[in-house]
């Protein structure tokens, strides 16, 4: 009864130093919505890129309708009926909907626009997409643009439709609209691969789930056989049974201490309103799956995105924090998640990168002397054991771990009362990781408050005395003291917290 | 470690190689062609003052406006990753304001000072206009400054009612050619003064660090508390001030303002000077000395061509040929080829310092 549409067998793909996919199998049936799940670095996007011809595969076989095919380019993929709609719209917003539907698909020299518009109109109304053929694509909402892209793919005789994070910039109503379209396509026999970070959406629309972790296939499951908490544990690679939770040595005492920072209904353009507080000398953390809003929340605290509302108190006194500069003046430091994009000034020297934040706080008319700069840089290069040829080396030529230490040094030099570290240990070697964890605990002992975010649960459990759990951009729970166990965290992330109580 | 240090020194100053080589080649070429090119003599001018004369002096003197504009352009390029093409027009506006003030009454030391101050202010306001378009409205610098490029000389025309009035006074002559008793042309002294001002500004403020940071990574600059809008705006305002200084020199040389021809087409030379100086036109790290050397290289080329009695109509074509050579020599592809060649010649010894290069 279930007709197999696409099979991928033993797919392997390596990049220098990384095995991104290791003998991964994937099966898609006709008229099925199949969610592809996994945390950061699990290999989801690599698998999609192999399927669409962006990357060549090292090993393995791809079959469409039981016919082996070879895909060397996105064009090949399209010829074989595999279409992709990406998170970012890849159509031309300044052309009309009809033009976008047919761009690059016309044959010969002559173009019959009348007929194209008619065909577009039929397609749009057939799929229930609220757009007119002559309308400029840019004037449609993002959701409609995405649906036009899907309609285009469907019209190009696609059998396999890949939706890569289609819902991340849509609101609830638009998501519902998209889901209706997806179900409609499903009933027409299209196989849909759905990549998303939103757990609830997976359960709302999918039939099957394939989970990857660290480039390895964890398994393929029918949705009804995989409860949400089970999915989370599979994604994170932790067995729920037999989890020996580490004894908590950290005293919960710090939690009861004096409040250092407090936010009420703080919101930004990226983060929904939330309440938050941290005590002096406390280490806490935001946890949740990728895209759950944990980074957006701490960015709101530092005013890295435009703050749209909320009250902030520092040491009990109300402060106005609407720009990073004000946050720095209030005594907050922030190490951003994306080191390359938001952290390092790649072409500048290690020295200049270290003193940058402190220099900004001192002000435009009070530059540090060359000697002071050298002393500060020397001090922190030694204290954090930054491996660099000299202070003058451009920071971009350092290794990832050392770049991260440079940015850490930059913030430590400003002597903040409250330090936010967003994924400080991502992509750096194990040795440096433990060094950073130890440093965090030492700073807290000295009275600094630290918010620590990491994708690795163990790391959070080891360092934080309180965890704020987020799911789908909302705070869904808070764990402290003896509640801090891996299974608790996973239940809370999956929304099954009550089963535990 | 010593080799590392040497490499770094080389890295920091390697971008000066192209302008230095260009100037050097031009000088060698002239030495072979006609050694008298280099003769510098002390003559007396019409007022009976001792003055320096010779081709070298003309190169240094003639490049003054360009050198000052190139300094300002370096900052705008570094901060915004784009270029201001309205500098010539802005200099014409500033020059017209200067003349307007001088012709309002008798020309005295005070009125000249007032004129300079006012035209500087006006030019800074126009620079602020350009900067606002670029920073607040995020228009590409070349497009944003196209507005003033188009209408700038019309504005200059209105200021003096379409006339090309003369302003003759010993003070103006002193600014445009020689101060009595000092044999060095005044514009050269003004370039040195502007250079000193920039050096002091870099010492007393964090301007250099901020501009480079904004130019390299605007997002990170913002997260470190720097306001990128303000820094870009500041760069354009400083360039405006540079334009006014150049305008004043240009007016003083001729003791009159011709709004149509004053510093015509200088914007392209200024951008070129920045490029020859090894600065990345996409913004980021900058080397102001490179830009200044670039300006002198361009002027040396022009004077050489004139000395060779190339008809003035042909000069631009010859200039273009040399510029093609310079730009290709400074291009990343050629630089990379040179780097690889050097590593091969040294048997791979330099690969350790590759990161620094």
Q: Which residues contact A115 (CB under 8 A, 6 or more apart)?
A: none
Residue of chain B with shortest Cα separation from A353: B213
| Encoded tokens for B118 | 């006012």
Helix (H) or strand (E) holding A419: strand A418-422
Question: What average pLDDT does the segment B275-283 reach?
Answer: 89
d(CA B324, CA A146) in angstroms, rounded, equals 47
At A171, phi and psi to the nearest 5?
Answer: -90, 175
> Which domains, ranges and CATH numbers included, belong to chain A?
4-236 (3.40.50.300), 257-331+418-484 (3.40.50.300), 334-415 (3.40.50.300)
Categorise residue B251: left if φ over 0, alpha if ψ from -120 to 50, beta otherwise.
alpha
Of B246 and B340, the one with more pLDDT: B246
pLDDT digits (tens, 9 = 90+) for B18-58: 888 889 988 898 889 888 888 888 888 777 778 888 889 99
Are A339 and A400 a contacting pair, CB within 8 Å?
yes
pTM of the model: 0.76
Instruction: Give the per-residue pLDDT at B298.
Output: 92
pLDDT at A313: 94
Domain span at B264: 54-309
Rounded distance, CA A464 to CA B3, Å? 45
Taking only the tens of pLDDT, chain A with its 501 residues reads 478 899 999 999 887 767 889 999 999 999 999 999 887 668 888 899 899 888 888 899 999 888 898 888 888 888 888 988 876 667 888 888 888 888 777 666 677 888 888 888 988 888 888 888 888 888 888 788 888 888 888 887 788 999 988 877 677 778 888 898 899 889 988 999 998 877 888 888 999 999 998 889 999 999 998 888 888 888 877 655 443 343 334 444 455 678 999 999 999 998 999 999 999 989 999 988 877 888 999 999 999 999 999 999 999 999 999 999 999 999 999 999 888 889 999 999 999 999 999 999 999 999 999 999 999 999 999 999 888 888 999 998 887 788 999 999 999 999 999 999 998 887 676 667 778 888 998 999 899 999 999 877 878 888 898 999 998 888 998 998 888 888 888 888 887 544 433
How far is the C-alpha of B183 from the C-alpha of B349, rounded, in Å?
Answer: 51
Q: Is A360 on the interface with B (CB under 8 A)?
A: yes
Q: What is the pLDDT at residue B76? A: 97
Q: CA of A16 to nearest chain B CA: how many angstroms apart?
A: 19
C-alpha B30/C-alpha B308 separation (Å) is 9
C-alpha distance from residue A231 to each of A199, A479, A483 (Å): 9, 21, 21
pLDDT of res. A242:
40
The whole-chain average pLDDT of chain B stands at 88
**Is B13 a residue whose pLDDT tops 70?**
no
Chain B residue numbers with beta carbons less than 8 Å from the beta carbon of A393 are 8, 355-356
Q: How far is CA A463 from the centre of its chain?
A: 22
Retrieve residue A85's tokens. 């709609």
Is B350's pLDDT higher than 70?
no
Side-by-side strand order, sheet with A216-222: A82-85, A160-164, A191-195, A33-37, A208-213, A216-222
- Please tell me the distance from the alpha carbon of residue B230 to that of residue B49, in angstroms, as a whole number: 47
For residue B290, is it within any domain? yes
Q: In this structure, how many other beta carbons lie within 10 angstroms of the beta carbon of residue A149?
A: 22
Give the 3-state secondary structure of A252-318.
CHHHHCCEEEEEEEEEECCCCCEEEEEECCCEEEEECCCCCCHHHHHHHHHCCCCEEEEEEEECCEE
Contact A346 B209 (CB under 8 A): no
Q: Report how many domains make up chain B.
A: 1
Tell me, what's the pLDDT at B333? Answer: 85
B159/chain A closest Cα distance in angstroms: 37
Strands A317-319 and A307-314: antiparallel
Q: Write the pLDDT tens digit of every residue in B147-174.
A: 999 999 999 999 988 788 889 899 999 9
Q: What is the reported pLDDT for B227?
A: 95
Nearest CB to A393; choose among B206, B223, B355 = B355
Rounded to whole angstroms, the maximal C-alpha distance in chain B is 72
Calpha distance B172→B179 (Å, rounded): 10
Burial of residue A172 (CB within 10 Å: 0-12, 13-18, 19+) is exposed
For residue B356, tell me if it sits in a domain. Answer: no
- CA-closest candidate to residue A235, choices A205, A206, A207, A196: A196
Q: Considering the domain boundaries, does residue B35 fall inside one? A: no
What is the token pair recorded at B332? 């990343």
User: What does the alpha-carbon distance between residue B55 and residue A84 come to, in Å, rounded to a whole number?
Assistant: 67
A12 close to A57: Cβ distance less than 8 angstroms: yes
What pLDDT sits at residue B136? Answer: 95
Residue B176 included in any domain: yes
The reply to whether residue B213 touches residue A324, judged by beta carbons under 8 angstroms, is: no
Whole-angstrom distance, CA of residue B191 vs CA of residue B195? 6
Please name the residues in contact with B110: beta carbons below 8 A apart, sequence gap of 6 or more. none
Name the A residues in 10-69 with CB < 8 Å from any B CB. none
Instruction: Read off the pLDDT of residues B198-239 as tens digits, 9 standing for 90 and up.
Output: 999 999 999 999 999 999 999 999 999 999 999 999 999 999
Give domain status of residue B219, yes or no: yes
Q: Which residue has the higher pLDDT, B275 or A425?
A: B275
Would you list the DSSP string of B301-342? HHHHHHHTT--HHHHHHHHHHHHHHHHHHTSHHHHHHHHHHH
User: CA A67, CA A85: separation in Å to the nearest integer?
Assistant: 24
The answer, for A416 touching chain B at a CB cutoff of 8 Å, is no
A chain contacts of residue B204, beta-carbon cutoff 8 Å: 365, 367
| Length of chain A counted residue by residue | 501
Question: Which pLDDT score is estimated for A412?
Answer: 94
A251 or B11, higher pLDDT: B11
Confidence class for position B10, pLDDT limits 50, 70, 90: low
Rg (CA), chain A: 25
A45 and A24 Cβ atoms separated by less than 8 Å:
no
Three-class SS of residue A470?
Answer: strand
Q: Which of A347, A369, A410 to mutate to test the interface with B (most CBs of B within 10 A)?
A: A347
pLDDT of residue B188: 96
Q: Which of B203, B212, B356 sits opposite A393 (nearest CB)?
A: B356
**Contact present, A420 and A332 (Cβ < 8 Å):** yes
CATH code, domain carrying B233? 1.10.3470
Q: Which of B202, B258, B227 is nearest to B71 (CA)?
A: B202
Collect all residues of chain A within an 8 Å Cβ-Cβ radius of residue B224.
324, 328, 356-357, 360, 410
User: Is residue B352, in this structure, part of any structural domain at all?
Assistant: no
Instruction: Answer whether residue B181 is part of any domain.
Output: yes
Would you say residue B315 lies in a domain?
Answer: no
Q: Which backbone phi and psi does A21 adopt, to 5 degrees?
A: -135, 130
Determine whether the interchain pair A393/B8 forms a contact, defined as Cβ–Cβ distance below 8 Å. yes
Q: In sequence order, what are the beta bridge partners of A450? A: A283, A419
Q: Which residues pair with A97 in a beta bridge?
A: none
For residues A48, A52, A57, A59, the Cα torsion angle rounded to the nearest 10 degrees is 80
Please answer yes or no on whether A342 and B219 come within 8 Å at the CB atom.
yes
């Amino acid at each position: 009864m279930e007709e197999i549409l696409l099979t991928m067998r033993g797919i392997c793909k390596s990049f220098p130093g990384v095995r991104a996919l290791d003998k991964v199998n994937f099966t898609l049936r006709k008229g099925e919505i199949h969610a592809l799940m996994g945390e950061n670095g699990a290999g989801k996007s690599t698998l999609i890129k192999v399927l669409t011809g962006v990357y060549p595969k090292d090993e393995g076989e791809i079959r469409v309708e039981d016919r082996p095919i070879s895909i060397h380019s996105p064009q090949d993929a399209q010829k074989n009926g595999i279409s992709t709609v990406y998170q970012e719209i890849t159509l031309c917003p300044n052309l009309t909907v009809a033009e976008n539907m047919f761009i690059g698909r016309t044959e010969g020299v002559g173009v019959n626009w009348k007929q194209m518009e008619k065909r577009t109109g039929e397609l749009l109304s057939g799929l229930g997409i609220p757009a007119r053929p002559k309308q400029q694509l840019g004037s449609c909402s993002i959701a409609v643009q995405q649906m036009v892209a899907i309609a285009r793919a469907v019209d190009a005789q696609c059998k396999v439709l890949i939706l890569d994070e289609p819902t991340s910039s849509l609101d609830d109503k638009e998501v519902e609209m998209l889901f209706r379209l997806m179900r409609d396509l499903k009933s027409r026999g299209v196989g849909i691969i759905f990549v998303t970070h939103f757990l609830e959406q997976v359960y709302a629309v999918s039939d099957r789930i394939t989970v990857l972790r660290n480039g390895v296939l964890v398994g393929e499951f029918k949705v009804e056989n995989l409860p949400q908490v089970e999915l989370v544990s599979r994604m994170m690679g932790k067995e729920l049974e037999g989890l020996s939770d580490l004894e908590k040595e950290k005293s919960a005492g710090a939690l009861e201490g004096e409040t250092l920072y407090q936010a009420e209904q703080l919101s930004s353009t990226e983060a929904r309103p939330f309440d938050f507080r941290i005590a002096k000398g406390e280490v806490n953390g935001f946890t949740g799956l990728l895209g759950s809003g944990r980074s957006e929340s701490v960015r709101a605290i530092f005013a890295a995105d435009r703050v749209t509302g909320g009250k902030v108190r520092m040491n009990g006194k109300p402060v106005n924090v609407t720009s990073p500069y004000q946050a720095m003046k209030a005594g907050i430091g922030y190490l951003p998640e994306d080191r390359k994009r938001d952290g390092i000034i790649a072409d500048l020297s290690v020295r200049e990168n270290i003193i940058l934040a402190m220099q900004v706080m001192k002000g435009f008319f009070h530059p540090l002397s060359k000697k002071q700069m050298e002393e500060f840089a020397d001090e922190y290069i030694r204290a954090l054991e930054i491996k660099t040829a000299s202070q003058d080396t451009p920071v971009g030529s350092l290794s990832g771990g050392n770049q991260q230490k440079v940015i850490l040094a930059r913030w430590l030099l400003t002597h903040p009362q409250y330090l936010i570290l967003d994924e400080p240990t991502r992509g750096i070697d194990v040795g440096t990781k433990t060094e950073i964890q130890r440093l965090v605990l030492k700073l807290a002992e000295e009275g600094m408050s630290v918010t620590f975010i990491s994708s690795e649960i163990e790391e959070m459990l080891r360092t934080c005395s309180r965890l704020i759990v987020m799911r789908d951009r909302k705070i869904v729970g808070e764990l402290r003291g003896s509640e801090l166990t891996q299974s608790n965290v996973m239940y809370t992330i999956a929304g099954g917290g009550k089963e535990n109580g | 470690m010593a080799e590392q240090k040497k490499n770094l020194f080389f890295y920091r100053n390697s971008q000066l190689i192209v302008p230095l080589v260009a100037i050097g080649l031009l000088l060698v070429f002239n030495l072979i062609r006609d050694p008298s090119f280099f003769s510098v003599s002390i003559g007396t001018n019409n007022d009976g003052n001792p003055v320096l004369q010779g081709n070298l002096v003309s190169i240094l003197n003639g490049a003054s406006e360009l050198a000052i504009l190139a300094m300002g352009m370096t900052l705008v390029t570094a901060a915004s990753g784009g270029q201001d093409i309205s500098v010539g027009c802005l200099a014409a506006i500033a020059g017209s304001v200067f003349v307007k003030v001088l012709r309002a009454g008798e020309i005295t030391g005070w009125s000249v000072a007032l004129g300079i101050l006012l035209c500087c202010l006006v030019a800074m306001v126009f620079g602020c206009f350009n900067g606002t378009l670029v920073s607040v409205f995020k228009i590409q610098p070349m497009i944003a400054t196209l507005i003033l490029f188009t209408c700038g000389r019309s504005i200059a025309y209105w200021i003096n009612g379409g006339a090309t009035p003369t302003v003759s006074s010993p003070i103006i002559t002193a600014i445009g050619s020689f101060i009595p008793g000092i044999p060095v042309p005044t514009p050269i002294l003004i370039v040195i003064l502007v250079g000193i001002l920039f050096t002091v500004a870099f010492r007393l403020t964090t301007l250099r660090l901020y501009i480079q940071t904004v130019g390299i990574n605007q997002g990170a600059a913002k997260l470190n508390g720097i306001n990128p809008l303000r820094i870009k705006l500041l760069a354009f305002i400083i360039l405006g001030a540079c334009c006014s200084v150049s305008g004043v020199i240009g007016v003083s040389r001729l003791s009159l303002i011709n709004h149509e021809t004053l510093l015509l087409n200088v914007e392209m030379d200024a951008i070129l000077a920045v490029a020859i100086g090894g600065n990345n036109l996409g913004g980021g790290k900058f080397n102001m000395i490179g830009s200044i050397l670039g300006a002198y290289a361009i002027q040396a080329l022009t004077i050489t061509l004139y000395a060779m009695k190339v008809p003035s109509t042909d000069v631009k074509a010859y200039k273009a040929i040399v510029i093609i050579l310079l730009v290709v020599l400074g291009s990343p592809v050629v630089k990379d080829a040179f780097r690889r060649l050097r590593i091969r010649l040294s048997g791979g010894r330099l690969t350790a310092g590759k990161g620094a290069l």
